[in-house]
């Protein structure tokens, strides 16, 4: 790969990488920083990219490590407020009857495999993640996008394992609802207000 084509490929990746960093860090300046560092790391040692995966996969891998570093530092500095348990319960309670059965039984999603091949699906997924309360989104992204162990996440954010579990549960339920309504055509009538 010539230097020129590497640069132009990286230029195309700039925006998507920035978007991921913003989603995770919720801070535009920090996001710019980690993306710049990522691009710089690739430009400084282009030989390390062996072309075994796509450049995008390679760059995303580096970006993940940069983001983990930032979160690690920030986790020590910033106190994360404990989740408001009451609001969690309220949001979840709306999905269930008092006896623990679903108000609307979750239907099966049709052809989820096909969704994974469509760029538009991932745009919907991103929007659904963005819609989560910031703390939930952060814990969820650390778990599912950065693929970190729950113990590490709890320790870093100084939250209990139980609280962490509740947050992940709530995030997953909210994302299920969001994807069901916005991609899999589950009708929104489920929200009986």
Binding site for another protein (CB under 8 A): 16, 20, 52-54, 56-57, 60, 92, 95-96, 99-102, 105-109, 112, 115-117, 119, 121-122, 125-126, 143-145, 147, 150, 164-165, 168-169, 172-173, 175-176, 179-180
Nearer to another protein, 10 or 164 (CB): 164
The CA distance from 162 to 158, in Å, is 12
The rounded distance, in Å, linking the Cα atoms of 136 and 164 is 9
In terms of CB distance, is 28 or 149 closer to another protein? 149
Torsion on CA atoms 152, 157, 163, 169, rounded to nearest 10: -70
For residue 44, the minimal CB distance to another protein (Å) is: 22
Decide if 133 contacts 55 (C-beta within 8 A): no
Name the residue nearer to another protein (CB basis): 30 or 129.
129
Nearest approach, Cβ of 171 to another protein (angstroms)?
Answer: 9
Q: Are 105 and 113 in contact (CB under 8 A)?
A: no
């Amino acid at each position: 790969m010539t230097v020129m084509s590497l640069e132009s490929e990286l230029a195309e990746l700039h925006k998507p990488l920035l978007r991921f960093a913003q989603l995770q860090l919720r801070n535009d300046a920090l996001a710019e920083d980690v993306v710049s560092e990522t691009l710089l790391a690739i430009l400084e040692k282009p030989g390390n990219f062996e072309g075994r995966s796509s450049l995008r996969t390679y760059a995303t891998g580096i970006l993940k490590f940069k983001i983990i570093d930032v979160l690690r530092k920030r986790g020590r500095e910033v106190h994360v407020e404990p989740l408001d348990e009451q609001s969690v319960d309220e949001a979840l309670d709306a999905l269930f009857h008092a006896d623990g059965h679903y108000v609307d039984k979750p239907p099966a999603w049709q052809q989820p495999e096909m969704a994974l091949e469509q760029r538009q699906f991932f745009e919907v997924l991103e929007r659904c993640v963005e819609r989560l309360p910031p703390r939930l989104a952060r814990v969820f992204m650390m778990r599912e996008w950065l693929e970190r162990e729950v113990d590490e996440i709890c320790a870093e954010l100084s939250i209990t394992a139980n609280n962490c579990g509740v947050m992940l549960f709530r995030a997953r339920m909210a994302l299920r609802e969001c994807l069901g309504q916005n991609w899999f055509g589950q009708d929104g009538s489920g929200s009986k207000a």
